[in-house]
């Protein structure tokens, strides 16, 4: 069976960097932009628009979609349409073979493919520091940056919990939870890659 | 600074085995029986009695100990005496040098020593399986075993939250959370050992 690795992450925790570096070390394809392109092809929406909507919170109305489709606004319909396309794209990727996927509730959407699921998190101080290093051109105060980080994670949580019955970040949904506070991402890639290798070998 | 590794764990998750194996691989002393012996020396209580009380839930009365010592029963006084001795023993160990300590709220008690803190957990099915493999002579039904596991973890949680302001098992209190469901403990020791090495190097 293909080796599917999903990485959920708090904003600023370095989860995306971990995903990309693991892909290099393990020689497993990392999917990100390709997912957006494929959703765009399937739905006809612009890539920029899809990026804006993906992993965003959704109005509670949309949760009841199944009951009465006609009651929803155009935005909510669009959001649901993109979610459905995203799930199809993720499954198509998993069918193709090994994959590393960051975010997108992939651990839940692909659970029939026995993925190894990782959650990456960190304390606020480390997340702020990492955001500053990544985008030194941004002129936020610490307070503004903290607010931004919390808002993005609130959106991710809402998006996750719309699709999953589990709580976003609850360790029982993940096989390994990595705290990147005060940790250099580079220095932990090799041990995580070995952990993943051995985890799959031990599960087969 | 000494390398202190603390391992908190759900009952049946294999946390103790991980601790012992890591000690072998890393060449770091693993403390367990020595802690009991030292508490016994310091308090005069029998080792068997200390084992019985350690990591057990404590009646809520004892939480208010500071207010009025005289109101407590003899058992509660004993429990508090053992907790105090345990904390002193843990700190004496940390002062001596590198150490691996399983349980005993060591991550909180030793936080000034910058420990690396690991939490080990698993789903109920895996925990039951592991308990059966460890003690095949026990005649529990699955239901009885599940009840026993839950009771022990409830005790650990109460004991932890008596000493710490944080929640037992909350991932933010740990540097790495390892889900051992369907995992062979042996197969993950080497990557965890490398992770610990690199974590300390990256933190120094």
Long-range contacts of A82-91 (CB under 8 A, 24+ apart): A82/A39, A82/A43, A82/A45, A82/A50, A82/A53, A82/A54, A83/A162, A83/A163, A85/A38, A85/A39, A85/A42, A85/A43, A86/A35, A86/A39, A86/A54, A87/A163, A88/A42, A89/A35, A89/A38, A89/A39, A89/A42, A90/A35
d(C-alpha B88, C-alpha B102), whole Å:
16
Distance CA A197, CA A98 (A): 12
How far B64 CA lies from chain A's nearest CA (Å)? 31
> How would DSSP label each residue in B31-46?
ESHHHHHHHHHHH---
Q: What is the nearest CA distance from B143 to chain A, expressed in angstroms?
A: 21
* pLDDT for A115 beyond 90: yes
Q: Which residues of A90-105 are buried (b: 16+ CB within 10 A; e: fewer)?
A: beebbeeebbbbbbbb
Q: What was the pLDDT predicted at A55?
A: 74
Q: If you average pLDDT over residues A99-123, what whole number do you get?
A: 97
Q: Whose structure tokens read 């804006």?
A: A52
Task: Say if the Cβ atoms of A203 and B191 lie within 8 Å.
Answer: no
Chain A residues within 8 angstroms (CB to CB) of chain B: 119, 121, 123, 169, 171-172, 174-179, 181-184, 187-188, 190-192, 194-195, 197-199, 201-203
pTM across the whole model: 0.92
Mutation for testing the A interface, residue in B119, B194, B201 having most A CBs under 10 Å:
B194
Tokens, residue B52 = 């019985």
SS3 of residue B5 by DSSP: strand
Of all residues in chain B, what percent carry a pLDDT higher than 70? 90
**What's the pLDDT score for residue B73?**
60
pLDDT tens string B126-182: 999 999 999 989 889 999 999 999 999 999 999 899 889 999 999 999 999 999 999
pLDDT digits (tens, 9 = 90+) for A12-68: 999 999 999 999 999 999 998 889 999 999 999 999 888 887 777 665 444 444 444
How far apart are the C-alpha atoms of A107 and A102, rounded to whole Å? 9
d(CA B149, CA A136): 50
In chain A, whose CA is at the least distance from the CA of B179?
A: A175
ipTM of model: 0.91
CA distance A9 to chain B (A): 13
B135: how many CB neighbours lie within 10 A of its CB? 11
C-beta separation of A76 from A87 below 8 A: no
* pLDDT recorded at residue B120: 98
Write the DSSP symbol of residue B110.
T
CA-to-CA distance for A10 and A120, rounded, in angstroms?
6
Compute the distance between CA of residue B41 and CA of residue B4 in angstroms, rounded to an integer. Answer: 24
Q: What is the mean pLDDT of residues B21-30?
A: 97
Of B181, B188, B197, the CB nearest to A198: B188
Residue range B108-125: mean pLDDT, rounded:
97
Got the DSSP string for A73-104? -HHHHHHHHHHHHHHHHHHHHHHHS-EEEEST
Helix H or strand E encompassing A30: strand A30-31
* pLDDT score, position A180: 98
pLDDT class of B54 with cuts at 50, 70, 90: confident
pLDDT at B56: 73
| Nearest of A159, A33, A182 to residue A108 by alpha carbon | A159
Closest CA to A95 of A191, A4, A192, A184: A4
pLDDT higher than threshold 60 for residue B26: yes
Average pLDDT of the residues in A131-143 = 91
Residue with the two structure tokens 């939250």: B161
Give the confidence band of A129 by pLDDT, cuts at 50, 70, 90: very high
């Amino acid at each position: 069976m293909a080796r599917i690795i999903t990485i959920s992450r708090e904003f600023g925790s370095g989860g995306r960097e971990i995903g990309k570096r693991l892909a290099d070390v393990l020689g497993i394809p990392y999917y990100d932009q390709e997912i957006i392109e494929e959703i765009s092809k399937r739905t006809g929406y612009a890539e920029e628009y899809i990026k804006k909507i993906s992993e965003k919170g959704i109005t509670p109305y949309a949760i009841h979609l199944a009951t009465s489709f006609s009651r929803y606004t155009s935005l909510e319909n669009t959001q649901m349409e993109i979610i459905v396309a995203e799930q199809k794209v993720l499954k198509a990727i998993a069918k193709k073979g090994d994959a590393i996927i960051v975010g997108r509730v992939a651990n839940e959407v692909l659970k029939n493919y026995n993925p190894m699921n990782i959650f990456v998190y960190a304390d606020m101080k480390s997340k702020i520091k990492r955001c500053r290093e990544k985008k030194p051109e941004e002129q936020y105060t610490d307070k503004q940056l903290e607010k931004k980080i919390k808002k993005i994670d609130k959106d991710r949580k809402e998006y996750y919990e719309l699709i999953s019955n589990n709580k976003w970040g609850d360790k029982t949904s993940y096989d390994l939870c990595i705290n990147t506070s005060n940790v250099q991402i580079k220095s932990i890639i090799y041990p995580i890659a070995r952990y993943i290798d051995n985890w799959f070998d031990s599960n087969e």
